Structure 1
Amino acid sequence: DSKFLLRYVFQLSVHTIWLERNGRRHGTVNRSPSFLIKFIDKQVRNRISSLRGRGGTTFNKTMVVWFSTRD
């Protein structure tokens, strides 16, 4: 559970930073670091919620781990 979460958050963070970097290079509006953090948080919660349809307790355990890491 936590291994999946760690890998997913890392992948999403790298992708989000890459998108922001490319946006800045190509002249789009810069987004604040707090916006990027909220965006990553929302995307992680959406992904974990999508696990609910697969059954099992993976959803509950992963969501608990994610919320325990948040402020």
Structure 2
Amino acid sequence: MGEKCLSSGPVMLYLHADVSFVVHIHERKKALNDDYIQFEATSNAFEHEESSYLVKEDRDHLFLRCEVSQHLWAMIIRRLGYRTLPFHSWDVFSDWLGSKDSICPTTLRRLVAQAGIYSLWHERNNRLHNNISSSSEVIFKLLDRRIRDAILARRNRKKFKNLLAKWLTFA
């Protein structure tokens, strides 16, 4: 049996280059680690025949380790120009967001991270509350649109001038 991707609690999203959303999630570590949710799942939503699960949710699993998030991050990382996934835990993910490298601008990494986390949270809510699931490819297509829209809305700002070209370089 594979692990299921779920979490609970209110989350706010800011699709701009600061890390307020990521910090908000980071501060919820203890609460997310202690959360348990019993839910009804259809075989369509989670590709299992069992009808109910007791799932221990944590931030690392929901955003980095479940099957959907791993596949989504793999697509994101390739689009950013990296060869391998540079993070495996939330702490390494946070360090990656703050680091500087020659492959991808920090602003783009942070924007993509926020959009990725938002997309995974949105998918989690659709599966949990609406029994609607989407493939990683569909989630990535929506994420790509969010990122393009966010960059285009800020295209006149200095840090956003060349981000769209960089985002599309490895498309």
Please give the TM-score of this superposition, normalised by the length of structure 1: 0.79
Aligned-residue CA RMSD in angstroms?
Answer: 1.9
- Structure 1 unaligned residues grouped into runs of 5+: none
For the residues of structure 2 that align with 1:43 and 1:8, how far apart are their CA atoms? 10
**From 110, 115, 133, the counterpart of 1:12:** 115
Residue 162 of structure 2: aligned partner: 61
Larger radius of gyration: 2
Which residue, 142, 145, 150 being the options, matches 1:39?
A: 142
Deviation at 1:3, TM superposition (A): 0.9
Number of residue pairs aligned between Structure 1 and Structure 2 = 68
| Paired residue secondary structure (2:132) | coil
Partner Cα distance (1:51, 1:27) in 2: 33
Q: More relative contact order in 1 or in 2 (CA 8 Å, sep 6+)?
A: 1
More helix as a share of residues: 1
Q: How much identity, in percent, do the aligned residues show?
A: 26
Between Structure 1 and Structure 2, the one with more strand by share is 2
- Measured after TM superposition, the shift of residue 59 of structure 1 is 4.0
Matched AA of 2:170: T
Partner of 1:21: 124
Q: Report the AA paired with residue 121 of structure 2.
A: W
> Which letter maps to 1:69?
F
- Are 2:115 and 2:143, in contact at CA under 8 Å, matched by a contact in 1? yes
**1:42, 1:26 → 2: CA distance?**
24
TM-score (normalised: structure 2): 0.36
Q: Unaligned regions of 5+ residues in structure 2, if any?
A: 1-103
- CA displacement, residues 23-45 of structure 1 (integer Å, 9 cap, x when unaligned): 11113421121110100111101
Answer yes or no: is the 8 Å Cα contact 2:107–2:159 preserved in 1: no
